[in-house]
């Protein structure tokens, strides 16, 4: 039996450390290199956003795609990723990609009006590459598309069903679906048969997300619990019927974290390095964090941290409602993030009302996120829904005890302590169920009580820091999935 490595093309819109708006970038920045370390032949396909095109190493043109999707000139470059040296293809289409702002929105937070063409091109180029039409030296056996931005690749592959290329589609967040006007389908070069409810039509609109759900050979989500949740009306955002219709083709593989980037023993961003054995640096990081953000220098005050997009999905309105009682119980809060203007304003107002006990940093700050996770005592993730969540895993890695709502990947990674006077033996954090300020306060009060028992708290911290949160286990599951898909796509192949 052959043991040749499976050839996989990973397709996404953002990648850490070059450009990041959320956890998707962390996944694309870490999973491919672990897959390669475990023997896969992995390459990336990314849009030529300035932060990507200007950072890749040794780019050279491998194909001209001519005018496409409204761009007069489109070429495909082959290069190497900085740091990892992984092979990467970059779609060079300056008209569509080389602009300021973010990957999906302009500097004012408005969606780019041509996102349909920008990400239609990403999917189309992925399918062309997968079918062997662009690089004569390499063709994947599995195309792995990430989130709605890349989902159309699965539909474009479906227009050529004879191609012996399997497609996997990973849902990172079902709430962001890539919805566009129905009639814009003509801009994608697809025939009208793709506009039916059995294809891409979704309540009178065109859905990129649905393209992945309907036409990928296998669908994965970023945690087992989320895979179950999205098949229900509460979490399925109108697509639960499509997901249930895929049956066993839908599965959940829990994300990992990059344990080299997130390592308190080697992190260059934090004030003092530490590990589970030599943990004194944790207190030094807390003191530095309190000083930096104008919090009272109180080692006895449990410091709750939030690193998040400021949206209702993340349950941060619950934190605002619970905040006065948390402060009354002697806690401090530090929030870092940006998002809804109303939430930003409310947190700034709360910081003014509780000077020295509450601090807020509006904006994205990767080194600042590392400092917050290292210096806080608890990391708050009270999400209404959470496909996986990486922040709670960063917290575990840094001995920063997570307090989370029991949804999605939060439920898969955090085990509740219970009552501090009768703690669960395998607990690594605090969990609540109902999305209410009262339920969050109940868990936070238990956490504050536990914090005031140093021996108990030390056990919680060390248990979290001892867990294997790396990508190794997830990569093994993906490789097994790819092997199954390769056999199904081409029965003559052997793994």
- The CATH number covering residue 119 comes to 3.40.50.2000
Q: Give the pLDDT confidence of 436-489 residue by residue, as tens digits.
A: 999 999 999 999 999 999 999 999 999 999 999 999 999 999 999 999 999 887
What is the average per-residue pLDDT within 179-195?
87
495 falls within a domain:
no
Q: What is the pLDDT of residue 4?
A: 84
271 falls within a domain:
no
379 falls within a domain:
yes
Q: What is the pLDDT of residue 422?
A: 87
Structural domain for 408, as ranges: 280-465
264 falls within a domain:
no
252 and 336, same domain (yes or no): no
429 and 321, same domain (yes or no): yes
Q: Give the pLDDT confidence of 52-71 residue by residue, as tens digits.
A: 999 999 999 999 999 999 99
Q: Give the pLDDT confidence of 237-255 residue by residue, as tens digits.
A: 999 999 999 999 999 999 9
275 falls within a domain:
no
What is the average per-residue pLDDT within 135-155?
96
Q: What is the pLDDT of residue 495?
A: 46
Q: What is the pLDDT of residue 91?
A: 98
Asked if 88 contacts 77 with a C-beta cutoff of 8 angstroms, the reply is no
Percentage with pLDDT > 90 across the chain? 90
252 and 134, same domain (yes or no): yes
Asked if pLDDT for residue 404 goes beyond 60, the answer is: yes
227 and 174, same domain (yes or no): yes
Between 87 and 487, the more confident residue is 87
1 falls within a domain:
no
476 and 385, same domain (yes or no): no
| Residue-averaged pLDDT of the chain | 95
78 and 171, same domain (yes or no): yes
Asked if pLDDT for residue 303 goes beyond 50, the answer is: yes
Q: Give the pLDDT confidence of 335-375 residue by residue, as tens digits.
A: 999 999 999 999 999 999 999 999 999 998 999 999 999 99
What is the average per-residue pLDDT within 155-174?
86
Asked if pLDDT for residue 331 goes beyond 60, the answer is: yes
Q: Give the pLDDT confidence of 117-131 residue by residue, as tens digits.
A: 999 999 999 999 999
57 and 136, same domain (yes or no): yes
189 and 285, same domain (yes or no): no
126 falls within a domain:
yes
Q: What is the pLDDT of residue 185?
A: 85
Q: What is the pLDDT of residue 162?
A: 55
Q: What is the pLDDT of residue 1?
A: 36
245 and 288, same domain (yes or no): no
Asked if pLDDT for residue 312 goes beyond 90, the answer is: no
Q: What is the pLDDT of residue 199?
A: 87
Asked if pLDDT for residue 492 goes beyond 80, the answer is: no
243 and 352, same domain (yes or no): no
What is the average per-residue pLDDT within 309-326?
95
What is the average per-residue pLDDT within 400-425?
96
How many domains does the chain divide into?
2
Q: How confident is the model at residue 163 (pLDDT cuts 50, 70, 90)?
A: low
23 and 111, same domain (yes or no): yes
Asked if pLDDT for residue 6 goes beyond 50, the answer is: yes
Full-model pTM: 0.93
Q: What is the pLDDT of residue 183?
A: 85
Asked if pLDDT for residue 494 goes beyond 80, the answer is: no
266 falls within a domain:
no
158 and 191, same domain (yes or no): yes
């Amino acid at each position: 039996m052959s043991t040749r490595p499976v050839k996989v093309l990973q397709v996404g819109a953002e990648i850490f450390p070059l450009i990041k708006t959320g956890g998707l970038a962390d996944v694309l920045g870490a999973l491919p290199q672990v897959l390669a370390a475990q023997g896969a032949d992995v390459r990336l396909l990314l849009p030529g956003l300035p932060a990507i095109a200007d950072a890749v190493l040794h780019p050279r043109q491998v194909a001209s795609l001519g005018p496409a999707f409204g761009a007069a000139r489109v070429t495909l470059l082959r290069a190497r990723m900085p740091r990892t040296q992984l092979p990467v293809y970059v779609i060079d289409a300056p008209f569509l990609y080389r602009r300021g702002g973010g990957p999906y929105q302009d500097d004012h937070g408005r969606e780019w009006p041509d996102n349909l063409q920008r990400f239609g091109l990403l999917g189309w180029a992925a399918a062309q590459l997968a079918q062997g039409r662009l690089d004569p030296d390499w063709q994947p056996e599995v195309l792995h598309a990430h989130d709605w931005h890349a989902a159309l690749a699965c539909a474009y592959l479906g227009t050529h069903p004879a191609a012996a290329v399997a497609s996997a589609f990973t849902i990172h967040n079902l709430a962001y679906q890539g919805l566009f006007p129905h009639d814009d389908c003509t801009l994608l070069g697809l025939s009208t048969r793709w506009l039916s409810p059995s294809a891409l039509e979704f309540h009178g609109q065109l859905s990129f997300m649905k393209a992945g759900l309907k036409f990928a050979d296998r669908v994965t989500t970023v945690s087992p619990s989320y895979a179950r949740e999205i098949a229900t009306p509460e979490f399925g955002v109108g697509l639960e019927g499509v997901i249930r219709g895929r049956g066993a083709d839908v599965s959940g593989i829990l994300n990992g974290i990059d344990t080299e980037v997130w390592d308190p023993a080697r992190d260059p961003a934090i004030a003092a390095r530490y590990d589970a054995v030599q943990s004194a640096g944790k207190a030094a990081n807390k003191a530095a964090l309190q000083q930096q953000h104008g919090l009272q220098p109180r080692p006895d005050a449990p410091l709750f941290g939030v690193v998040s997009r400021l949206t209702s999905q993340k349950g941060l309105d619950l934190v605002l409602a619970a905040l006065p009682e948390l402060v009354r119980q002697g806690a401090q809060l530090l929030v870092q993030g940006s998002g809804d203007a109303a939430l930003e304003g409310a947190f700034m107002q709360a910081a003014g009302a509780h000077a020295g006990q509450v601090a807020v940093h509006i904006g994205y700050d990767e080194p600042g996120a590392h400092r917050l996770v290292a210096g806080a005592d608890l990391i708050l993730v009270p999400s209404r829904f959470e496909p996986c969540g990486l922040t709670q895993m960063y917290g575990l890695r840094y001995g920063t005890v997570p307090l989370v709502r029991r949804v999605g990947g939060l439920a898969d990674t955090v085990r509740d302590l219970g009552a501090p006077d009768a703690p669960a033996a395998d607990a690594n954090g605090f969990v609540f169920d109902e999305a209410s300020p009262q339920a969050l306060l109940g868990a936070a009060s238990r956490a504050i009580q536990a914090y005031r028992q140093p021996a108990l708290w030390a056990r919680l911290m060390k248990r979290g820091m001892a867990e294997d949160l790396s990508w190794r286990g997830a990569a093994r599951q993906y490789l097994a999935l790819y092997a199954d898909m390769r056999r199904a796509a081409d029965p003559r192949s052997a793994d």
